[in-house]
Amino acid sequence: MSRGLNKVMIIGHLGRDPEMRYTPSGRPVTTFSVATSRSWHSADGERHEETEWFNVVAWGSLAEICNQYLRKGQQVYIEGRLQTRRWEDTDGNKHFTTELVAKEMIMLGERREVSGTYVSKPEEEEEFPF
């Protein structure tokens, strides 16, 4: 069987401060949103801009680092994989969400004094606290 590839790299700005929670087993998970923008000129010369929002999920030690150092508006590089979760609510409605599961984070820009690269350690498969 051939292998597939699911790798995503984005550079953008945090849309909100990170939120950290813990799974029932005590494993930290942090969520935040990142906006990426692109611009182009149409054939008539008009400038257009489009913003794409990504929901980011970080686990383990990377979750703790993201929660400690990242803030709304900060520019970051995030590398990871896309994952779609499905669930059914109490009324029987089906829901889907696609998230970027972070494996690496680099703080960019000059917004914070601390900058660096943070990579998550290989850990067990993720649990979902929500």
pLDDT tens-digit map of 3-43: 999 999 999 999 999 999 999 999 999 999 999 999 999 99
Is 69 within a domain?
A: yes
**CATH number, domain containing residue 81:** 2.40.50.140
Percent above pLDDT 90 for the chain: 79
Average pLDDT of the residues of the chain: 88
Which residues, other chains included, contact 2 with Cβ-Cβ below 8 Å and sequence gap of 6+? none
Q: What is this structure's pTM?
A: 0.79
DSSP code, position 74:
-
Q: How far apart are CA 13 and CA 16, in angstroms?
A: 9
Q: Would you say residue 82 lies in a domain?
A: yes
Could you give the 3-state DSSP secondary structure of residue 78? strand
CA distances (Å), 26 to each of 2, 23, 31, 60, 105, in order?
36, 5, 16, 10, 22
Say if 79 falls within a structural domain.
yes
**48 is in which domain, residue-wise?**
8-119
What residues form DSSP beta bridges with 7? none
**Distance of alpha carbon 120 from alpha carbon 105, whole angstroms:** 9
| Residue 127 reports pLDDT greater than 80 | no
**Number of independent structural domains in the chain:** 1
Phi–psi pair at 60, nearest 5 degrees: 65, -135
Contact between residue 100 and residue 56 where contact means Cβ atoms under 8 Å apart: yes
Q: What is the DSSP string of 7-49?
A: -EEEEEEESS--EEEE-TTS-EEEEEEEEEEEEEE-TTS-EEE
